[in-house]
A = this chain, B = another copy of it.
Amino acid sequence: MSIAHLNQKAPEDYAYPAAIAALQSLFGERVLTSNAIREQFGKDESFHPSKWPHAVIKVHTSEEVQQIVRICAEHKTPIIPHGAGTSLEGNIAALKGGVTIDTSEMNNIVAIHNEDFDVVVQPGVTRRQLNEYLRDTGMFFPIDPGANASIGGMASTRASGTNAVRYGTMRENVLSVEAVLADGSIIRTANRAVKSAAGYDLTRLLVGSEGTLAMITEITLKVYPIPEAISAAVCTFESIEDAVNSVIQIIQYGIPIARVELLDSLTMKSINLYSKTDYAESPTLFLEFHGSEAGVQEQSELTEEITSENGGSNFSWTSNTEERNKMWRARHDVAYAGKLLHPKGEIWSTDVCVPISRLADCIGETRKDIEESGLLAPLVGHVGDGNFHLLLLVDHENESEVAAAEALHRRMVIRALEMDGTCTGEHGIGYGKIEFLEIEHGAAVTPMKMIKKTLDPDNLFNPGKIFGIL
């Protein structure tokens, strides 16, 4: 998807005066239509420019969502579900305008079931909010994309993050959702049993559907006991290959590692600049172990053995909470840190995921390609899953830089697909990766489109996303 053809506003071709009027008669001044609001809600954290909705409504209940959906359905007006706006492929852009339903104030924690290790939340609850709320219960919710995303948004993009190697992604951790369908009906996809063989798995169908099939209004999540012991470690390597090979061996040995993140030299440099740290500016692994005191000790020792055999040095580990938090904060701030490397650069964040046996090749070839391109592009990854990110630093005024970045990006994605990988491990398709969805899934895109067509025949929900059907 070329950046060039995107324009700033919702196309003038679209207008929904009847829907807006009907919404205003019901919601009054809560129907927000100022340009500042429209611009803000048309833009996520990606490089994609803002595509404005015609109106934004901040909802509080499932019934309000239902009312909006019914009005929009009657007037064939697009509905764009909105969480924290931290998506990375333009997933919340209003490609043909319409009404953005903002869930940021629909953020109650509805229920905590301590004995069952699950919680029920409204979609606007953010992951940090949830973990702060949970802290006193001895439980935590592990899925952590870098940003403070909303649970509804994370469910919609099938998000994951640094803990996925141990705890899975949103696919594994959403037990059930409540959602409003295009016909205005409210469904609940499952009950709270941890497993079921009753009927089609609508939970997993909605998780990752990026708001194109329904609007999620409540989510039941698995949570976990805070481990008895947590320790973290940093280890540096002379080459990326050595670091990646260590990870492969850690996984293959069956060490139940909780986090294992790769950061290349450029990333470490940006971290030192941004977070005022003094890490070695070499390929680095950030690791974390969860378990009993003895278990964590055993995991760290085995891991250190593996990293040493692969030339890793300065393996330093800590169970100090403050040091650990500082390290993971630095990791999560990588997207912001990268900007310091290129004064005019905006960050184009992208990700792919491959089988772990191909990870060293995929990263190696990509690094080589970056060097040849002359671009600045820190590489970081949830490498235990075979998933890595490139932060392309691009001056959007510089046409040759944009063209070089587009070409590099395309080569990286095609390379991952040729290695039996996926065009996105955790960001989703949005409207930035539509062409790659087709290449990746081939004939399987047809049944996906059939499902979209039957559940949302008027293409109300988040039109243009995933399949490019406007």
Contacts and interface: CB of A to CB of B under 8 A. Distances in A.
Interface in A178-213: 181, 185-202, 204-205, 207-209, 213
Interface string A157-193: 1111000100011011000000001000111111111
Contacts of A356: 115-116, 194
Given A447-B187, A451-B451, A195 B252 contact: no
Interface stretch (A232-240, A328-336, A424-432): A424-432
26 contacts: A115-B356, A117-B251, A118-B355, A181-B447, A185-B446, A187-B446, A194-B355, A194-B356, A195-B353, A195-B387, A195-B422, A196-B425, A197-B422, A198-B429, A199-B440, A199-B444, A199-B448, A200-B205, A200-B208, A200-B213, A201-B205, A201-B207, A225-B252, A227-B254, A451-B455, A454-B454
A437 interface: yes
A158 B202 CA distance: 14
Contacts of A78: none
A292 interface: yes
Given A197-B427, A200-B209, 12 more contacts: A113-B357, A115-B248, A115-B355, A168-B172, A172-B172, A185-B443, A192-B355, A193-B425, A197-B422, A197-B424, A197-B425, A225-B253
A453 interface: yes
B195 A171 contact: yes
Contacts of A204: 171, 201, 204-205
Contacts of A115: 248, 252, 355-357
Interface string A233-262: 000000000000000100111101000000
